[in-house]
């Protein structure tokens, strides 16, 4: 998302940057986007080895609460 595009596409109010948390065993971490379909793993829940991953940035509208997420390289 460009710095100049900071308005909500729904109501045109300001968007504020943040992130969505993932709760894991012993940690709280930001969400990641992972390429491809999820594959179950007995040990970790989901296999992610050798898959591209990007951290997800999420923007929230201060008026209507609309969320817009991006996973930029």
| Span 17-61, pLDDT tens digits | 999 998 888 899 999 999 999 999 998 888 988 899 999 999 999
Asked whether the beta carbons of 19 and 33 are under 8 A apart, the reply is no
Q: Has residue 2 got a pLDDT over 90?
A: no
Rg for the chain, CA atoms, rounded: 15
Residue 68, pLDDT above cutoff 90 = yes
pLDDT of residue 43: 87
Q: Is the pLDDT confidence value at 4 over 80?
A: no
Nearest Cα to 67, choosing from 29, 30, 19? 19
Q: Whole-model pTM above 0.85? A: no
CA distance 27 to 70: 23
């Amino acid at each position: 998302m460009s710095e100049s595009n900071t308005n909500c596409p729904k109501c045109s109010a300001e968007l504020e940057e943040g992130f969505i948390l993932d709760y894991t065993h012993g940690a709280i971490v930001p969400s990641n986007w992972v390429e491809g379909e999820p594959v179950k793993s007995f040990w970790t829940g989901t296999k992610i080895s050798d898959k591209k991953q990007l951290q997800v940035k999420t923007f929230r509208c201060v008026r209507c609460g609309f969320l817009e997420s991006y996973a930029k390289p």
